[in-house]
Structure 1
Amino acid sequence: MPQQQKALIFPQKRANLKVGSRSIPSPGTRQLLVKIHSAVLNPVDYMIRNTGVFLTHYPVILGVDIAGIVEELVGEGVENFCKGDKVLAHGSFPIIDQGAFQQYALTVATLTAKIPSKQFFDSAATVPLGLDTAVVGLYGSLVILNGSSSVGSYSKRAIQLARFSGFDPVVTTAFPSNEDLVRDYGATHLFDWHLSGNQLVAAIGKVIDSPFRIVFDAISLPETQSVEWRLLAQNGIIVLTLPASVKEDEGKGHKTIYINGDPHLPYTHELFCNSWAMVETWLLEGIIQPNNHEILPNGLEGVIGGLERVGMGQVSGVKLVAHPQETQ
């Protein structure tokens, strides 16, 4: 195994991303070293790149969605994995050795799962962040705002887990061209994402005769939150992926919950360890289905242009996947 690797480095706040070289890390207790074959771009990567939010030090390797092969493991605290296993994992961009946009990364064994034999790296890599965000936000009726966009990978997992957990109905908004996609996820009702707030509330009211107990908002912008207050039942809950922009006392008993899909936090780790123990089974049984995806050219270099597309809203219904090993 080589001592150096190619990595997409974020050197300082608001600086340009650039491909450079760095040492390949060695795994510690309860860690695996994974040779990354597929890394997925997420809207949060673009947001961090542009604002520096969530970061306290540099340099940083962005990206958290990882799929690859176990290159090396440490025995203590690592169970059920062998060198050569195909795996997916939820990385951690604040920890430079655990970022996805490099050729080798460390993963936490309890946040890593084997990829079923009929799944591929590209599809498996679309799962981790979306799944973990949905897991922490769910657990009746449920409405999920924006079920098919790039951001909507969170919604996809929420839809799948909602149906698996017995929510009915499961209502979502999406582009009409993605209707078949979100219905495959498990949505019972679809409404056009282009509808204004008043139009959406009226359209939902025509077919759903009771307000919603839970709204999962994958976008969490002020304009989407304002619509959701009008859809909630008394004491209903809005699950947000960004901080609330409407005060709770304005919601007449309604509440907001800001969720963080980071499984590396001390207060979420136990929850995610339990769910990650089921990921291989959920993939095998089709309970969780990977996103449609588009492969970017030029290895890690392709991530730079891919993030610009994500930021400009040019990605819908697919996840962008980079192949770090193809980096020149």
Structure 2
Amino acid sequence: MKGVIVEAVGSPYRVVEDLKIPDPSDDQILVKSIAAAINPADTFMQSTGLLVTAWPIVLGCDASGIVTKVGSAASSHFKVGDRVCGCTRLGVPGYSTFQEYFCMDAKLALPTPKALSFQQGATIGVGTYTACLGLLSGLKLEIPQSFPSSTEKDEWVVILGGAGSVGQYSLQIASALGYKVVATCSQKTATLVKSLGADAVIDYSKSEEDQLQELKDITSGNFSGVWDSVARSEQLARKALKNVSTGQRKFFATTDDWTPMEEDEDHETSRVKLGLIGRQGDDIKEAPMINEEIASYIPFLTRLLEAGKLQPNEFKVVSKGFEGVAEAVEVQQKGSSAGSKVVVELDDQ
């Protein structure tokens, strides 16, 4: 089959046509790749080699396609012909989206709602899974039994980086759960952030002192958790919890899982490790728990998507075909997609 490989750390993307079609195990599905969103994790793996389990490697983790084969134990989740999206295993041969066919773990995949295109589906996986790990696992937000008929809560959730892909999904999820949301963003993206569920915004270009004062004025300290969705605001988050929050139980969650951090007795720290999705083995002790958590989110995310309470990221198709993957990655790296997700169409559907 056709695909795009990276030979070694730092090597360029190269189109090949002799890749072996992977065979799904009993609890997996084989998916024909239709569209893929470019994710910063792709560049991270290509440039550092981290998370990559074998070379050469095909990259791509934001998936959208059609089920073509179903393992015996996966038939309760999907059937041949179903449209599916989500996040695949990162850095593991046979699971990456920049190839014609790839495997997905059935219980970690999302059925693509009929109302969404393949391109829209490609923007959903990494962003929504990461948002859930931060909000539900990290900040301990609860999904009410009556959901989606949830009641409004007299409590704020603080989201740092509301305009990013993860931030946008986080805004919608927290809002759908009934929480009041305050988010940091630029003046340029404030309107977008408010349209996605933020009740208040704080300009992140202001000084740390000014941001903390605004947070106090807006919330009166009535929040127990801060979610750093962009991995750039650890100190602001910790100061907010220590000096502003009046919550009895306090939580800090971040997408930064690589920078050395000291634990703080004042609050519980959670570091999102989406790179472990689907991983197995005794040497990866955290993987089973993370995979169980993600699997438990799938019904919740499906209900949100089908109810129209979770809108896909805006996207920009910058290229088509496997020959266009390198161009799409370059556009994403340069940040020249005007705030939209960069999508490459791999098959004409």
2:131 maps to what in 1? 134
CA drift of 1:181 comes to 2.0
2:255 maps to what in 1? 241
- Tell me which of 234, 238, 246 is aligned to 1:229: 238
- Tell me which of 211, 214, 224 is aligned to 1:203: 214
Moved over 6 A (4+): none
- Would you say the 8 A contact 2:37–2:341 is kept in 1? yes
Q: Which amino acid aligns with 1:193?
A: Y
CA distance in 2, matches of 1:90, 1:56: 17
Q: Secondary structure at the match of 2:231?
A: coil
1:283–1:295 CA distance, 2 compared to 1 (3 A): same
1:77–1:86 CA distance, 2 compared to 1 (3 A): closer
The worse-fitting range, judged by mean Cα deviation, of 90-99 and 236-245 is 236-245
1:165 maps to what in 2? 177
CA drift of 1:316 comes to 4.9
Q: Secondary structure at the match of 1:195?
A: coil
Deviations 1:105-125 (A, max 9, x none): 111111223222211111111
1:176 maps to what in 2? 187
Tell me how large the CA RMSD over aligned residues is.
2.1
Same amino acid, percent of matched pairs: 27
CA distance in 1, matches of 2:73, 2:20: 23
1:194 maps to what in 2? 205
Query: Which segments of 5 or more consecutive residues in structure 2 lack a partner in the other structure?
Result: 137-154, 279-286
Matches within 5 A, 1:38-187: 38-139=35-136, 140-148=155-163, 152-168=164-180, 170-187=181-198
2:313 aligned with 1:304: no
CA drift of 1:307 comes to 2.5
CA drift of 1:39 comes to 0.6
Q: Secondary structure at the match of 1:49?
A: helix
- Would you say the 8 A contact 2:85–2:125 is kept in 1? yes
CA distance in 2, matches of 1:197, 1:10: 41
Q: State how many pairs are aligned.
A: 314
The worse-fitting range, judged by mean Cα deviation, of 12-21 and 271-280 is 271-280
2:272 aligned with 1:259: yes
Q: Secondary structure at the match of 1:268?
A: helix
CA drift of 1:239 comes to 0.6
1:80–1:226 CA distance, 2 compared to 1 (3 A): closer
1:279 maps to what in 2? 301
Q: Which amino acid aligns with 1:19?
A: V
Q: TM-score, normalised by structure 2?
A: 0.83
Q: Which amino acid aligns with 2:172?
A: Q
Query: Which segments of 5 or more consecutive residues in structure 1 lack a partner in the other structure?
Result: none
Q: Secondary structure at the match of 2:132?
A: helix
Deviations 1:65-87 (A, max 9, x none): 11111122233332142222211
CA drift of 1:56 comes to 3.6
